[in-house]
Structure 1
Amino acid sequence: MAQSVKHVLIVGAGLAGLRTAEELRRAGYEGELLLIGDENHPPYDRPPLSKQFMRGDLDSTALRPDEFYAEQRIELRLGTTVTGVDTAAHAITLADGSRLTYDQLVIATGLRPRRIPGLPEVSGVHVLRSHDDAARMRDHLGTAARAMVVGGGFIGCELAASFRMSGVEVVLVEPQPTPLAAALGEQIGSLVARLHRAEGVDLRCGIGVETLVTEGDAVRGVRLTDGSVVDADLVVIGIGSIPTTDWLADSGIPLASPTEGGGIITDEFGRTGVDGVWAVGDVAAWPHRVGRNKRVEHWTNAGEQAKITACALLGTESPAAQVPYVWSDQYDMKIQVLGLPALADEIRIVEDQGRKFLAHYFRDGTLVAVVGAGMTGKVMKMRALLRLPEYSAPG
């Protein structure tokens, strides 16, 4: 197949899109390679946006220097929105009405932040997905007295930590019983809650947001579902994201339903089932060990999928899937997740040192995940002991 592919078009200039371009070149692809992004920034790393960039410790999160793209013969087209795809004609349509053709199309359009319906549109309310989102939030943080973070997932917890490290009072609101309950379970979530409370975060779990309290066109506080009103002049909505697939309507490319998490349905190599179309990264619902197609919104997953898809697209041997790995920096702690906590039916806390902890996750007595805070070596040495099921069939 490598000889027949002359023009690969990648829509989405984030980590997954860039990694796919890199892996194609590494695998020997010599044809045209176009990477399209709707932002005006070259591909950049998103994880530092909620941490080092937010605290002012880092200004650039660019993944590659500008000269890299010319050296690798990757045409980078930024500030360009793709509005549709004609899979029969192997062509995409851009916002200006022009069309571009392709031999092979890789979709890596990622996510957009989920918002709370009905909230008034006022200044001081932020979401975090893009570099520009982070820059606006960081500017506001410099004058903020008290911040509210709505949502205790990884991003919400990281932002709460960065705000506290910047000297701002923080209220963290999470509808579930603990932060990270959905990802790690309530038992480990309670240890994460303890960490944030020890750092001075006003953590309120089991409640949500009713509405904003405003003054003119600016936010001044938040009314919660328990009736309390919390003063805040900076509010971050971090309640998850939605896959960017609107432009694929009527394309025939298979999409998962919203109740299934959305995204583009693929096989274990990123093929969509539509000729010449692939999907990788946060937008892609690959077969998953939990027994169904599922999107995985993590940095390491994007790189692994990019390598597998690039090899499959060129007809070369794909690398074996790796053990999933995720990390989150909060205060002076690196929280690491190795394996698949969602598979577990039992959690055992192996060590608990107050801030640092280590937990093992089991399914039918078999180790399927390890989670630790401040236990880098002890987490990673368990990789060889994990026993995960093979990927299930698509569908």
Structure 2
Amino acid sequence: MAKKNLKAALAGHHSRKASADKAARVEDAQKRKAESIKRSVSGASARANAEKKREKKRRRLDEGEEQREGAASEVQRGKQNVSRESAVGHKPTRLFEIDDTVLLIGEGDFSFAVSLVASPHAVALQQLLATSYDTEASCYAKYSNASANVAKLREAAGRQDVVIFEVDGGNLAKHPEVTGLSKTAAKAKARGDDVRFRRSWSKIYWGFPHVGQGHADETRNILANQLALSRFLVSAASLLSVGPVPSYAQQGVAKKGVIAKSRKRAREAHDGGPLSDEEHFSDGEEDAQSDNVDEDGEGGEETTALRSEFARVPYRAPTRAGSILISLRHVSPYTAWELPKLAKSLPTLYPQLLRTAPAPPKGQHTVTTQEAADAGSYRVWRSFDFYPEDYVDYKHVRTDAKGKEGDLFKDESKASCRCWELGRSGPA
């Protein structure tokens, strides 16, 4: 009986153990299945997350590209805006009025002269004389557009002598076309000169002068150009019209006392330190316009009447004080020429230049120290920014010492340009 009970107990134990083992295996299988499902779900989720990350990255890249393209477009639009502002973002300063007699010195391809007789400048052809230092043949050989521009001017004027060649700015009195005085009565009659009338000029303009002698030494180059400017200032002095000083130049005179006082205070504040030439000679910086002509360059019936009078009697200067205008790049070495200082102290500085500067080209008239003293000094009426783009089709061409043509305004430095207007102060 006892054995039977033991046997039954063992059988029950084995049965329970087998059931427990089976349950454990089932549970283990379920766990593995659950983990497998979990891993599968996790893997899918991870892949989904990875895909999301990749998609997000792609979107960022696309957005970045769009932003770069947008920025590039903005830059381009900005450049276009700057370009437009460069063309119209300043108020042009009128150099010449409808009644001015205008003498142009040192023209290259005559594109500046052509631009002046076009709107909005509308300089009267009967009042204009454009000159070149070169012979006619050498001018055409140097500058590709010169022949066409000269032909335009002569055809529009209906005469050949609206343009003349071989004119030295330091010896203007040599040329009857400039002075209006012929050497003989026969020539005077042929030229239509009025013996009672000597020509005078209310504006004499020299745009971007340069001797072009190719001096390697910078000091010699500066002195050579200062001598050329001085010769011109002396030569032109007696040809300027006389009369009242224009209102914008008078404004400079009126302010002179106030400016002098402020400069005196500045010197005292700086223990008497000297002023720079730029400070000392900036009197009269004005962008004022004359009252004679409307801002668009037209004057209506008055302008028409003036043109008719000019056609009848050309080269009659207005009854106001004449001036010299000189445009220069506002960068070295041009600033080292010290144009305002030369003009103000011409009788004093010219003898020094005559001793120290390289000799001018052979055949040029040597201006004497007495002639410089007779010419006297100049005063700066105004100085202002000069914008070549204000003059349609104007291209300032120059040649180097080897005769190679180039464009002054396409230099890498892109420096600004400045125009100085000078009026006579009187003999020294």
TM-score range with shorter-chain normalisation? Answer: under 0.3
Q: TM-score, normalised by structure 1?
A: 0.25
Structure label with greater radius of gyration: 2
Q: TM-score, normalised by structure 2?
A: 0.23
Bigger relative contact order (CA 8 A; separation at least 6): 2
Give the helix-richer structure, 1 or 2.
2
